[in-house]
Amino acid sequence: MISSSAVPHVVPAGRLAGMEQPVLALASGWQLRPWRLSDADVLVAAGQDAAIRQWNRLLVGSAEEASTRIERMRQRWRAELSAIWAIARPGGGAAGLIGWGDIDLRGGSAEIVYWLLPAARGAGVAVEATERVSRWALDDLGLHQLRLCHAVANTASCRVADRAGYSLEGTLRSALLHADGWHDEHLHALVQGDI
């Protein structure tokens, strides 16, 4: 019998915590940057947006709650649990969120999360940001497999996955609970060598 310790970690523990969170430039002029306490109002606005609330579990009702969440993003980076960026307009104002949750350095995987405020939707920013954080996760962090999951009814996220090069792996039945009940979920993936 082979011991599980014989299987090497895909990414060594401490690699993410030892990095400063980078600012990632997008060709469109947008950038992905760490969240700032001055962005708290953006999290509050997102928590009030019907489309974001429908597909995300974001319930930020006050600037104080938003500030706590921003600090938790920093803590979760240091704990190697997530890597979350603000999607910022040229000039600096945040208009969305993107990053990696459920980071498993040992197994080499993570799941992407993202949303955009209404004024930033429809211009391809979500696709470009997804491509950029995916390249960072595979090339800079060294992960092997990335997941993008969404409710089947969320057709906008399905388009983002397809345009960003994620393969549809299958459908998970009744896998996601939203305010309106259980939803089937699409599972898309991107692995080392796909891009």
Per residue in 69-100, pLDDT (tens digit) is 999 999 999 999 999 999 999 887 999 999 99
Lowest mean pLDDT among 1-10, 107-116, 135-144, 177-186: 1-10
Which are the contacts of 20, defined by CB distance < 8 A and separation ≥ 6?
none
Gap between the Cα atoms of 13 and 105, Å rounded: 7
Q: Which helix (H) or strand (E) holds 87?
A: strand 83-88
Judge whether residue 2 has pLDDT over 80.
no
Domains and CATH numbers, the chain: 22-191 (3.40.630.30)
**Contact between 115 and 101 (Cβ < 8 Å):** no
Q: What percent of the chain has pLDDT over 90?
A: 88
Which contiguous run of DSSP H or E holds residue 88? strand 83-88
**What is the predicted pLDDT for the residue at 3?**
57
pLDDT(179) > 90 = no
**45-60 burial string, b = 16+ CB within 10 Å, else e?**
bbbeeeebbebbebeb
Half-sphere exposure (CA, 13 Å, Cβ side) for 157?
24
176-190: average pLDDT:
94
Average pLDDT value for the chain = 94
Q: What is the pLDDT of residue 6?
A: 82
CB atoms near residue 114 (< 10 Å)? 21
φ/ψ of residue 19, rounded to 5? -95, 145
Specify the pLDDT at position 137.
98
State the maximum Cα–Cα separation within the chain, in Å, rounded to a whole number: 57
Would you say the C-alpha torsion 9, 13, 15, 20 has a positive or negative sign?
Answer: positive
> Which comes out higher in pLDDT, residue 2 or 168?
168
pLDDT at 4 > cutoff 80: no
What pLDDT score was predicted for residue 61?
83
Query: pLDDT tens digits, residue range 11-57?
Result: 999 999 999 999 999 999 999 999 999 999 999 999 999 999 999 87
Classify 83 as helix, strand or coil.
strand
